[in-house]
Amino acid sequence: MDLMVWFFVASIAFFWGGYPILTRFAPMHPAWTAALLVNGAAIIGSIGLFAKPTAPGLKNSAITLIAGAMLGAGMFLFSKLLAWEGLEIGKVFAICAALGTVVSAVGGMIFLGESIAPVKIAGLVAIGIGIYLLD
């Protein structure tokens, strides 16, 4: 990967890894947490519309809205986890992120025709072992 890709990966890791910690400093009902997180993401994400103002077609818009609903549901459920007293945020977030990685990788193999290499399978097994060790 080139340097710009690594910059984006590091930035995503910082933002996605940091927001669960920040939400603990502002305890509120998980529904409010999820709504505010999704709305904040929508505001920042909408800035990109200035770069490409051409509207997508109906099918692509519908698929993306379904993906957004999935994101919203995931944010709500994750917010419920963040609100639970006694749960370690570092552990919970790491497990959620690792399982998300597995779902994305397997989904890519099944639905997008991505490669199924032995080393990739070994990596997914290693993630599974890591999740087990975290729990």
- Give the integer Cα–Cα distance in Å for 50 and 32: 28
| pLDDT tens per residue, range 24-69 | 777 788 888 888 888 888 887 787 777 766 777 888 888 888 888 8
* pTM summary value: 0.70
Look at residue 126 in the predicted model and tell me its pLDDT.
Answer: 95
Q: What is the pLDDT of residue 116?
A: 93
- pLDDT value for 117: 93
What pLDDT is stored for residue 53 in this prediction?
67
Helix, strand or coil for residue 75?
A: helix
Residue 3 has pLDDT above 70, yes or no: yes
The CA-atom distances, in angstroms, between 17 and each of 6, 31, 43, 49, 96 are: 16, 20, 20, 25, 11
pLDDT top residue among 77 and 127: 127
- CA 35, chain centre distance (Å): 15
Name the maximum alpha-carbon separation found in the chain. 47
Q: What is the pLDDT of residues 83-124, one digit of tens each?
A: 888 888 888 888 888 988 899 899 999 999 999 999 999 999
CA 63 → CA 57, 104, 118, 128, distances in Å?
Answer: 10, 17, 31, 30
